[in-house]
């Protein structure tokens, strides 16, 4: 039976000539055969024609202003779709720009393939000084899940198939695929070229957990006095929403979502311990990690964040992750959907419960913390502060629960994560495991392109600066993205003072900047808000329009904490105020 993907690939190859084709057409044909519909990138020598051919074949090419942003978009597309996002870059400097995003994708376990053109191997290997000469394969290998080079045109289909399977199988990650310019331009017989293409079958097969491993974990949870389930972004990526929901509803266990797992279950779910996070982690005696790692985001599983007597259950598809920080008493190796499904099948009714005293302790702390947060959000200081601005954003987004939220910054990230509830899975994307600044516009563009839904990008003014030129991309493609710049005129805060000279302090930006005028230069709509009421009106209007927009939210320069919630990582102590 002929598939749509096969037809698309055949059409692409037919565009060359009836008798011959070349590497460019084979790349596009191989991608189409594997259901790739969108490429993110920045064109130039030697891959411009590749983008043109992709467009001519019916594939969508989203052209960016910087390769890092294109790479971040491809990574976000991988997270949202479970298919590898494709990033196309030029050689050497362009490749290196994209490599930042590829490394970040690998760290965050997002499937992504970066395809770069490169210089002639026989010149590069002898270091003869070719155009943009660089051994890109060697550079990529340290920062990606895998790196491959295609040296023959007849291997293009094989190389793309290898890259796709590697990116999505097991623990997902970034893959680099190097295709020299000479290979892209090589002409071959069309029939032979078509025969060389491959469609990857079942690239991420299920991995079932051992029944005895599931039973061991069930026994631990049944005996626990203070059990807690922690969901990481791996749980959101798995798209095992029904199995996870049934597990939580059946057992009644309290759960804690990491930031990109918010919405996997609604943040207002009665078993959510998010408002009592510190207490839940510190007091839990059995912690079940689902798609979450005991890395720095969870204090490596050590005191004071955790009870020293805590025992851990961990669900992960990568066996090497287990015991990386703490002993794992009940390791569960497998894909999350299969593991959670096995739990639901093997748990006897009533076997696992959360003791009432534990639920009451968490509920009391949640109510106490929520009351404190409400008091802070209800305050209305002038000039506007982060909490007042984000309260306004929260209230508008409650009317738009299916809008995607992209979030980066220091205070902008930390406060928004605590204030803005999520109710739909995979609708929050943020700085992730590396805490990288600069993901904002790439992630926002990918969310809009892949979903067609509105996107609200909540940006600190410093973080926005890393990718702000992509406003032009948002406007060029007429995407429904609203950018909110929380503008307090500084990195962390805008009241820094340089006592040594007339130069601004290291953390000082321009507090009088009008970011709203940037998007107006590209045909979008700019707003400026100095109060929560103005912000409410601007965001409501922008979302209703469905057009590119930016709201410059003027925040008190004195508001903010250096390093956000990470002041303990600042060795100087300067920001502890």
Write the pLDDT tens digit of every residue in 377-426. Answer: 999 899 999 999 999 999 999 999 999 999 999 999 999 999 999 999 99
Out of 133-137, 193-197, 451-455, least confident range? 133-137
Spatial distance between the Cα atoms of 474 and 166, rounded to a whole number of angstroms: 31
Task: Identify the pLDDT of residue 575.
Answer: 35
Mean pLDDT of the chain: 94
Instruction: Count the Cβ atoms, other than its own, within 10 Å of residue 123.
Output: 13
Contact 279, 295 (CB under 8 A): no
Tens of pLDDT, residue by residue over 506-562, are 999 998 899 999 999 999 999 999 999 999 999 999 999 999 999 999 999 999 998
124, with CB counted inside 10 A (0-12, 13-18, 19+), is buried
Tens of pLDDT, residue by residue over 287-318, are 999 999 999 999 999 999 999 999 999 999 99
Sign of the torsion formed by the C-alpha atoms of 234, 240, 246 and 247 = negative
Asked whether the predicted pLDDT for residue 246 surpasses 80, the reply is: yes
Task: Identify the pLDDT of residue 574.
Answer: 41
Q: In what order do the strands lie in the sheet with 286-290?
A: 255-257, 227-231, 286-290, 311-316, 328-333
Contact 162, 149 (CB under 8 A): no
Task: Identify the pLDDT of residue 125.
Answer: 87
Task: Identify the pLDDT of residue 4.
Answer: 59
Query: What mean pLDDT do residues 25-31 have?
Result: 98
Spatial distance between the Cα atoms of 85 and 107, rounded to a whole number of angstroms: 15
Q: Which of 410-446 are b and which e, b meaning 16 or more Cβ less than 10 Å from the residue's Cβ?
A: bbbbbbbbbbbbbbbbbbbbbbbbebbbbbbbbbbbb
Contact 561, 385 (CB under 8 A): no
Spatial distance between the Cα atoms of 428 and 404, rounded to a whole number of angstroms: 6
Tens of pLDDT, residue by residue over 72-93, are 999 999 999 999 999 999 999 9
Q: pLDDT band at residue 368, thresholds of 50, 70 and 90?
A: very high
> What is the residue whose two structure tokens read 């605590």?
418
Please give the structure tokens belonging to residue 321. Answer: 């992750």
pTM given for the model? 0.94
Tens of pLDDT, residue by residue over 54-72, are 999 999 999 999 999 999 9
Please give the structure tokens belonging to residue 430. Answer: 């943020």
Return the beta strands (E) in 335-438 as ranges: 404-408, 428-430
DSSP string, 393-414: HHHHHHT-TTSEEEEESSHHHH
Kindly compute the dihedral angle of the four CA atoms of residues 401, 78, 260, 490, in this order, to the nearest 10 degrees: -90
In the chain, the percentage of residues whose pLDDT exceeds 90 is 90
Spatial distance between the Cα atoms of 274 and 252, rounded to a whole number of angstroms: 15
Instruction: For the chain, list the domains and their CATH numbers.
Output: 4-195 (3.40.50.970), 211-363 (3.40.50.1220), 379-569 (3.40.50.970)
Spatial distance between the Cα atoms of 178 and 160, rounded to a whole number of angstroms: 10
Please give the structure tokens belonging to residue 68. Answer: 């890092």
Task: Identify the pLDDT of residue 12.
Answer: 57
Task: Identify the pLDDT of residue 576.
Answer: 30
State the first-to-last Cα distance of the chain, in angstroms, to the nearest integer.
67
* DSSP type of residue 131: T
Out of 6-10, 256-260, 338-342, least confident range? 6-10
Task: Identify the pLDDT of residue 570.
Answer: 63
Spatial distance between the Cα atoms of 387 and 419, rounded to a whole number of angstroms: 8
When computed from its CA atoms, the radius of gyration of the chain, rounded to whole angstroms, is: 25
Contact 416, 553 (CB under 8 A): no
Contact 178, 148 (CB under 8 A): yes
* DSSP type of residue 204: S
């Amino acid at each position: 039976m002929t598939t749509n993907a096969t037809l698309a690939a055949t059409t692409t190859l037919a565009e060359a000539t009836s008798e011959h084709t070349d590497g460019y057409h084979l790349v596009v044909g191989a991608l189409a055969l594997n259901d790739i519909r969108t490429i993110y990138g920045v064109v130039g020598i030697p891959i411009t024609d590749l983008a043109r051919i992709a467009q001519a074949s019916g594939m969508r090419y989203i052209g960016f202003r910087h390769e890092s942003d294109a790479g971040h978009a491809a990574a976000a597309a991988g997270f949202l779709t479970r298919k590898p996002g494709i990033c196309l870059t030029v050689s050497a400097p362009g490749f290196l720009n994209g490599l930042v995003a590829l490394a970040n994708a690998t760290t965050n376990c997002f499937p992504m393939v970066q395809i770069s053109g490169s210089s002639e191997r026989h010149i590069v290997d002898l270091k003869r000084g070719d155009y943009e000469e660089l051994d890109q394969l060697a550079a990529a290998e340290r920062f990606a899940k895998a790196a491959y080079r295609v040296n023959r045109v007849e291997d293009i289909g094989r190389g793309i198939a290898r890259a796709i399977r590697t990116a999505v199988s097991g623990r997902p990650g970034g893959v680099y695929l190097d295709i020299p310019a000479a290979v892209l331009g090589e002409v071959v017989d069309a029939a032979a070229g078509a025969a060389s293409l491959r469609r990857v079958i079942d690239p991420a097969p299920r991995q079932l957990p051992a029944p005895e491993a599931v039973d061991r974990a069930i026994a631990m949870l049944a005996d626990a006095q203070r059990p807690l389930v922690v969901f990481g972004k791996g749980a959101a990526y798995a798209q095992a929403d029904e199995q996870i929901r049934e597990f939580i509803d059946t057992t009644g266990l309290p759960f804690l979502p990491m930031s990109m797992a918010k919405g996997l279950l609604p943040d207002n779910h009665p078993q959510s311990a998010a408002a009592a996070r510190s207490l839940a982690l510190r007091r839990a005696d059995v912690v079940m990690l689902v798609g979450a790692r005991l890395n720095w985001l969870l204090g490596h599983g050590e005191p004071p964040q955790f009870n020293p007597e805590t025992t851990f259950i961990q669900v992960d598809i990568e066996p090497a992750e287990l015991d990386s920080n703490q002993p794992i008493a009940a390791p569960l190796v497998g894909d999350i959907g299969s593991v959670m499904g096995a739990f639901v099948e093997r748990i006897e009714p009533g076997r696992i419960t959360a003791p009432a005293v534990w639920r009451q302790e968490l509920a009391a702390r949640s109510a106490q913390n929520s009351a404190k947060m409400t008091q802070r959000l209800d305050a209305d200081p002038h000039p506007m502060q982060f909490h007042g601005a984000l309260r306004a954003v929260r209230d508008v987004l409650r009317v738009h629960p299916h809008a995607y939220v992209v979030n980066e910054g220091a205070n902008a990230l930390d406060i928004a994560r605590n204030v803005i509830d999520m109710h739909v899975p995979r609708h929050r994307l943020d700085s992730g495991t590396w805490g990288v600044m600069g993901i904002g516009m790439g992630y926002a563009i990918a969310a809009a392109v892949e979903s067609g839904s509105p996107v609200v990008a909540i940006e600190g003014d410093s973080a926005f600066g890393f990718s702000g030129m992509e406003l032009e991309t948002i406007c060029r493609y007429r995407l429904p993205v609203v950018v909110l710049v929380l503008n307090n005129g500084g990195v962390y805060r805008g009241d820094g003072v340089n006592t040594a000279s007339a130069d601004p302090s290291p953390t000082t930006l321009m507090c009088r900047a009008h970011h709203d005028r940037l998007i107006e230069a590209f045909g979008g709509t700019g707003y400026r808000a100095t109060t929560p009421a103005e912000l409410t009106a601007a965001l409501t209007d922008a979302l209703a329009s469905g057009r590119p927009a930016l709201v410059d939210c003027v925040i008190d320069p004195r508001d903010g904490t250096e390093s956000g919630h990470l002041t303990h990582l600042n060795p100087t102590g300067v920001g502890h105020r």
